[in-house]
Amino acid sequence: MQISWRRPIMFIQDHSFNFATEDVNSFIKKNNLEKKFVIALDFDGVISDPYILKTKYINEYGYNITEEQCGYDACIRKLGIKEKNYKSALERAYLADPKILPLQEGFKGNFPKLKRLKDAVLILVTSRYNYMIKHLENYLKFNKIKVDGIFHTELKNKISILRKGFVDVFVEDSPFKLKQIFDKLNSKNRKFFNSCTFILYRNKQNYIEKNPNKGIIEVKDWDNLYKAISKNYNKWVKSRG
């Protein structure tokens, strides 16, 4: 699969978990998303758990950090770790063999419950580099994770998916990326924010980072993530009468 584009793109999975490109507007229309409960999940740090590996690889350069210190802000701005070493360790962790790159604890027990919600649509939203998409495809295939679609923004602000107006719950583990989104909050975009619940997924890497907005819900694991999403889902069901 060769990838080349300048704007966000959608992938769908076939029965063998292989990716195929899909037009975003066609995906919205075909799945009737305006009448569905759409859950948008980040991948790295919400589904996968790369931080043990990331910490290990950073320390191979002679450092002695903990998992709680392996985030960009702590490594680069506070601990003075060389950016090239940080990026190398991050890439190795994110692209690790699926056999050694673990899922978030509690994912396997709770993800199927989300899939069973009537009229719910599950999509992944990732800002990975283009060359990392094949690994994402293989990781989902290895773990037999099937979603309704994968929305790829590359390195761009994830607000692009919110502007489509169909996301009901948006789950992200990066306070920085959430801040990017909320910095764009203005009269033009406000309707998309009012209709979407934002959830910051706390993990070891972002544990010490500040929540960028008091309107963002925080959860510490997949058990609590499922509860938070279910609560919003039940409100959505009631609102439909």
Strand, helix or coil at 48? strand
| Torsion, Cα of 140, 143, 149, 155 (10° steps) | -40
**C-alpha–C-alpha distance, residues 29 and 228, integer Å:** 27
**Which own/partner pairs from 13-19 qualify as long-range (CB within 8 Å, at least 24 positions apart)?**
13/140, 13/146, 13/147, 13/150, 16/141, 17/137, 17/140, 17/141, 17/144, 17/145, 17/146, 18/137, 18/141, 19/133, 19/137, 19/150
Residue 230: closest CA among 100, 151, 116, 134: 116
Q: Is the Cα torsion angle 212, 76, 127, 233 positive or negative in sign?
A: negative
Strand, helix or coil at 136? helix
Name the burial class of residue 145, with classes exposed (0-12), middle (13-18) and buried (19+) by CB atoms within 10 angstroms of its CB.
Answer: buried
Say which residues have a Cβ less than 8 Å from residue 5's Cβ, sequence separation at least 6: none
DSSP E strands in the chain: the ranges are: 9-13, 19-22, 37-41, 120-126, 149-152, 169-172, 197-201, 217-219
Residues of the chain under the 50 pLDDT cut: 1-6
Enumerate domains of the chain plus CATH numbers: 9-49+102-239 (3.40.50.1000), 51-94 (no CATH)
Residue 3, pLDDT score:
37
pTM (predicted TM-score): 0.92
**C-alpha–C-alpha distance, residues 149 and 122, integer Å:** 7
Residue 188, pLDDT score:
66
**C-alpha–C-alpha distance, residues 99 and 81, integer Å:** 28
**C-alpha–C-alpha distance, residues 66 and 70, integer Å:** 7
Kindly report, residue by residue over 15-66, the tens digit of the pLDDT: 999 999 999 989 999 999 999 999 999 999 999 999 999 999 999 999 999 9
Tell me, what amino acid is at 158?
K
Residue 187, pLDDT score:
56
CB 3 within 8 A of CB 15: no
